Each structure stands twice: as structure tokens, then as C-alpha cells.
Structure 1
Amino acid sequence: MPTRRRLMEYAALAAPGLALGSAAMAQPARKPLRILILGGTGFMGPHQVRYALARGHKLTLFNRGRRPQDWPAEVEELTGDRNAGDLKALEGREWDVCIDNPTTLPFWVRDAGQALKGKVKQYIFVSTISVYASNDRPGDETAPLAPYPGQDPLAETAETFRANGALYGALKAASEREAKRQFGEAAVTIVRPGLIVGPGDETDRFTYWPVRLAKGGEVAAPGDGKDPVQFVDARDLAEWIVRLAETGTTGTFNGTGPKQPIPMAEMLDVVGKALKSDARLTWIPADFLAAQNVRMWSDMPVWIPEAGETAGFHHRDVSRAQAAGLTYRPLATTAADTLAWFRTLPAERQAKLRAGLTPEREAALLAAWKAKA
């Protein structure tokens, strides 16, 4: 459990950016909705729930009940297991909107469609920017999607997916198609997030940078700093999805940000200044990183080179989402809030980041680069 000092530090850093989400400042919606959220207790879900409650909506969550939460107002919680096809708790019920947060497997969408047929007016499916067949050039929502390489995507299970995680994008694309088949294209909203960041992210795929820059010293940075990056704060994404439900907006949207792609160097500069870091960045070329088996995205989080097969990955057009109301809080706020949240975690969790370079490996990389130079 976080100490009192950690909680006070978190509150102090969080206040300017509402680290607990914008729920505290949310205005009541014009028309309260009955919203069913499939999931709701993972990374983005709690932000959605709190914002929706603050807007005056009536919430029902459906999940396996393994992550109990304390909510600021009444939330109905239904228990079931989509892996086992157990959606009995949804029978005989109706909602205005269903938000499907956690689904990767198409049969989950099929089962939800069968259980909710005629019982919801809008189905919002949270997909991924990884659905596209190619990332070698910039593109909008009309770009070709990754084809499913097997015979029947509905036959994929959690076990087969775990054995072949490379199917992630193709299965999300198949899930999008199944959503339109089950609910009708006119009732479906598809949101394709990019990298989701901010307080509550257990992957550390962005968190690594605030944590590392806050420590100071010499920091290994990827490439030449010019590669663009895209990402979205979980709170901005969650709140926008609730507003899409309020307006009944359907269609397909690339749900990432910021408003314009920014270079990696600018991202690290903004993060460092937000944390008053004295860190010194040493930029190491992509080819040298590859020779040292330093991987983009995982060892160097957020970063993907703007070259070859990945030249367009961080260049997805987000103009449709912005026109539909997606807004962004400042990156400095996201960075400060993320670090404050991370510092509330147990010491053993803080000691082992789940993405990025370990201190030993970073030191070895810097030494190798200096030896070459």
C-alpha cells in the first residue's frame, strides 16, 4: 500500500492535470444513458466509469469479477466469463450503449452480439491501430486491414491467441467485421487507439521515460530524435468514448494523438522539463541499437523508426477523431501524473520496470556506443 507521503505527493502532482481523470470537472450530460461496459476494471475502464458517473449516466459492468473497485457512486456489476461463453447475466436486459473494452477474439464479439441483439442501440468496439495491413506509409481509417491467415477467426480461443500473439492485429480486424455483422454497421462505433499511456498503465511502455528521466544522469535515447511518435492518454481516450456514446456517433476512428505527431526529442524534452529533470540525453543511431539487440518499442518504449516497414506507424491520420471531439491534455500533465502514480506502487514493483532498459543494460549500451565513437 502507498505511504501517506506518497499519497500526498501524488495528490500534489495530480491536481493540475486531474490524474484521477476529468470526472471531478465533468458537467452532467444532457440525457443520462444506460451504459453497459464489457470489462471496465482494466487500465482505461476505471477512467471511463468515473467520468460516466460524473456525467450522470447509469453504469453496468460485466466481467469476471476479479478486479473489484471502489466507485464514487452506484455501479451495477454483473459477473460472467466470455471465454466460457457465459453471458447469462445479460439476458433479459436492455441498455442504450454497450462499450466493449477488452475484446481481441472475434467469438467474444459474436457472443456479445447474440446476447445483446435488439437490446442496445449502439455498440462501441475498442480496437487498435495495429489492425492495418501495412505500416510503411501514413494512412487514414480507409487503409487496408490485416488479413486473417487461418480458416476461421471465430475458432480462435484465448489459448491459441497466447500461442501466437502475432495474430493480434488480424484478430482485432476480424472482430471489427464481426461487430458490424452482429450489430449492423449503422449502430457500430470502432475506435482504434494507438499506444495508450498515463496513470494506471501496467505495461510501462510510456512510464519508462518519466521514471528514467526523473532519475537524471546520462540517458540512452533512440535514433536521432527526429522520429515522430503518437500516443494517447487513457483518460482522454476514455472520456471521449463516453462522449461518443452521448452523441450516438458511429463510424471508425483512429483514436490516438497528440494533435500532431511530435518528434521523439520533443517528447523527451517536454517530459524532462515537466519533471525538472537534469538528465542528459545521448542519442544512439537506430542501426547501432539494432546491432546491440536493443529493440524498438520494448527496449526503447514509444519509439519506432520512421523508416522502411515502420515509416508510417506513428503517422496515422487522427483528423476524424478530432472532428468527433477527441481532445488532449498537455503531455507535461500526462508525464507528471504518470510518475506520481508509479511512485504509489509497491517498492518491488517500482524496482522492476516492465519495459525499457535495465540500468545495467543501459550502462553497457552507453559504454559500447562511446567505445565505437
Structure 2
Amino acid sequence: MRILVLGGSGFVGRAVAELGVARGDDVTVFNRGLRSPVAGVRVLAGDRTATGGLGALRDGTWDTVVDTWSAGAEVVGAAAELLKGRAGHFSYVSSRSVYHYDENAAAVPRLNEDAPLVAGDEPGYAGDKLRGERAAEAFGGPLLLARAGLILGPHEDIGRLPWWLGRLHRGGPTLAPGPYDLPLQYVDARDLAAFLLDAAAAGTTGPFNVVSEPGHTTMGELLEVAGQVTGGHADLRWTAPETILAAGIEPWIQLPCWLPPGPLHTFLHDGDVRRAFAAGLRCRPVHETVTDTWAWLQSLPGGAPQRADRPVVGLDPKIEADVLGL
């Protein structure tokens, strides 16, 4: 296929570009050129947020376009409109955050693609992603909306799995947020990339929850595997959610990937993914994701990259020691 990746040098876009090249596809990436490109791609430079910044895309045709943009929707619409009639398929990497979450609900159902969405004027990330979905409709052709959840794997620039790997490699008594069997639902960026390209080739359209099945792994398995892969230096001290919250530790940010049991955990880690799996989604074992991410981290001279538009994650060692009574 002739593939155009809007992005293509960071995390998910990079996984798409790498897979396309590995499969023998003709891959073009469009970005600002701030990171080293994937070997074998054609690079078109431009800043899509600047006036006239899409100029490099005014010519050319492609079989499919993949857009990973996660901020204001205007640039998604501008690119989709510009590429209208010049590409056969358009995929927008959205988020399961577009679903409405009622923090006061007594129970959270397992949400499928027909679940209620946030309001169109919702502020922040969820609203940006929903508006991005709607802006992508300007493409006027076959459109796939990949509603991903937690994304892990090599080249992660959010810092979640990289932080855990670094912490476990450092070793010693380590705060492990319980319960041990807390189920996690996520997707490896490479499995997301495979779904996107396979779906494009098949002409698949519509919204899909693109994450693993609920309970694909658990917090216990994730940290035990990560500890083994990084050398077995850590002494995992499983700690009750009540103790963690009482210490003022912020879930998800200070303890990446973790949310205490409750409605928000159910919302983010218990989504209905039957439609995506019926359309071909497959998710590799957690051991492979962890091992490959650690190998990538060890190859970096300056540590893991960090997106400027996302908060730095991780727990201060002093806070950790205080909670563990050290």
C-alpha cells in the first residue's frame, strides 16, 4: 500500500511507519522533522499548526492515511479536507476517553462503540479526541476511528512503562500498588499499528475500541515480568489502595498505569472489544511488550523521550519510602 502517516516519528505513528516499511509498503510521513525518521520512509516536512503548514501535502495520492493527532481538532479537519479524493481510506487514532463517564454512577457498564459520548464542547483531551473524530469526517470517504486506551510498547514517549522499568531496575523495596490481581486493559503500539494497516487494506470503517481484552494482564503480572526483565533487583511490596490514596499519591500519574478498583478503573480497563477482535485485532503477550520496551530503553543514550504536552509521571522516592515505612 501507499501509506501516509501524519506524524510517523514519535510513538504510535512510528509503529505504523515501521510496520509499513517492514511489510514492503510505500510509506510517507509528514511531520516537523524534529525526530529521526524511520529508515526507508519518505519524509515530507511541515508544521500542521502553522498557516500554510500543510503545503507539502498538496500533491500526491495514497491508499490510506493514518492521523495520530491528539490536540485541537482544527488541524485534523484541515488535513482530512485537503486529502479528500486523494486517498482511499483515513484512520484517526482516537481514544476511549470519548465515552461519557459518570463519576456518580453506582456501576459502570462494559462500554461498546455505541455507548454515549462526551459533550461536543467537553474541555481537555476527551473533548479534543471527540472533536477530532468529527473533524476527520471532512475526508468524505472511508473513515476508521481507532479508540485506543492505554498504549504501551517501544518508543513510548508518555513515560508510563519506561518509568516502571527504570524503577524496578533500580531495585530495593518497591511500592507495588494493589491489588495484585487488578486487571489491566491496554494495547501495544505495534498491535495497534497492525490493526490500522490491516483494517485499511480491508476497507474497514467505523469506530473500534482498540485495546486488549479485559484482564489481558494484571498489575501483578506486569510488575513481576518487568522486575524479571530488568534484572530481578526489586522487592515488590504490595500495598492496599486505601494506604496509597491516604498518602495523597495520585493514581495514573504518580503510579503509572494504576487506578484503584472502582468506577474509573472499570471505565478504563473493562471496555467491550469484541468488535475490534472480530475485525482482526490481536494482542501480543505482556512479556513481549515489556521485554522489547526494556531493550529499546537500554539502546537510548539519553533516556526515554518525554512529550512536552503530557505530565511527567512517577513517584518521588521519599514519598515511596514514607509509605513503605523505610
Q: What band does the TM-score fall into relative to the shorter chain?
A: 0.7 to 0.9
Contact 2:100/2:117 (<8 A) preserved: yes
Separation in 2, partners of 1:341, 1:262: 21
Q: 1:229 aligns with which of 178, 184, 200?
A: 184
Contact 2:146/2:207 (<8 A) preserved: yes
Q: 2:92 aligns with which of 115, 122, 125?
A: 125
Separation in 1, partners of 2:83, 2:233: 54
State the partner residue of 2:105. none
State the partner residue of 1:360. 318
Name the CA shift for 1:337/1:349 in 2 (closer, same or farther; >3 Å): closer
Q: Highest CA radius of gyration, 1 or 2?
A: 1
Q: 1:191 aligns with which of 116, 124, 146?
A: 146
Contact 2:184/2:215 (<8 A) preserved: no
Separation in 1, partners of 2:111, 2:166: 32
Separation in 2, partners of 1:262, 1:340: 20
After TM superposition, the score normalised by the length of structure 1 is 0.77
State the partner residue of 1:83. 49
The number of aligned residues is 315
1:261-340 matched pairs, under 5 angstroms: 261-275=216-230, 277=232, 279-340=234-295
Name the CA shift for 1:333/1:146 in 2 (closer, same or farther; >3 Å): same
Q: 1:58 aligns with which of 26, 29, 34?
A: 26
Shift in Å at residue 200 of structure 1? 1.1
> 2:124 aligned with 1:167, yes or no?
yes
* Corresponding letter in the other structure for 1:199: P
State the partner residue of 2:115. 143
* Corresponding letter in the other structure for 1:61: V
State the partner residue of 1:25. none
Contact 1:96/1:122 (<8 A) preserved: yes
Name the CA shift for 1:139/1:214 in 2 (closer, same or farther; >3 Å): same
Separation in 2, partners of 1:222, 1:90: 47
Task: Answer with 83-92 or 313-322: which moved more.
Answer: 83-92
Name the CA shift for 1:349/1:125 in 2 (closer, same or farther; >3 Å): closer
Q: Which runs of 5+ in 2 are unaligned?
A: 103-107, 306-310
* Corresponding letter in the other structure for 1:63: N
State the partner residue of 2:2. 34
Separation in 2, partners of 1:50, 1:349: 19
Spell out structure 1 runs of 4+ moving beyond 6 A: none
Shift in Å at residue 191 of structure 1? 0.4
State the partner residue of 1:156. none
Task: Answer with 262-271 or 106-115: which moved more.
Answer: 262-271
Higher helix share: 1
* Corresponding letter in the other structure for 1:219: T
Shift in Å at residue 103 of structure 1? 4.0
Contact 1:199/1:341 (<8 A) preserved: yes
Deviations 1:200-233 (A, max 9, x none): 1122212222332333322111132233211111
Name the CA shift for 1:222/1:35 in 2 (closer, same or farther; >3 Å): same
Separation in 2, partners of 1:196, 1:61: 21
Contact 1:103/1:109 (<8 A) preserved: no
Q: 2:133 aligns with which of 166, 176, 187?
A: 176
Determine helix, strand or coil for the equivalent of 1:271: helix
Shift in Å at residue 281 of structure 1? 2.2
Q: Which runs of 5+ in 1 are unaligned?
A: 1-32, 151-165, 369-373
Contact 1:305/1:311 (<8 A) preserved: no
Contact 1:65/1:79 (<8 A) preserved: yes
Determine helix, strand or coil for the equivalent of 2:325: helix
Q: Percent identity?
A: 38
* Corresponding letter in the other structure for 1:183: F
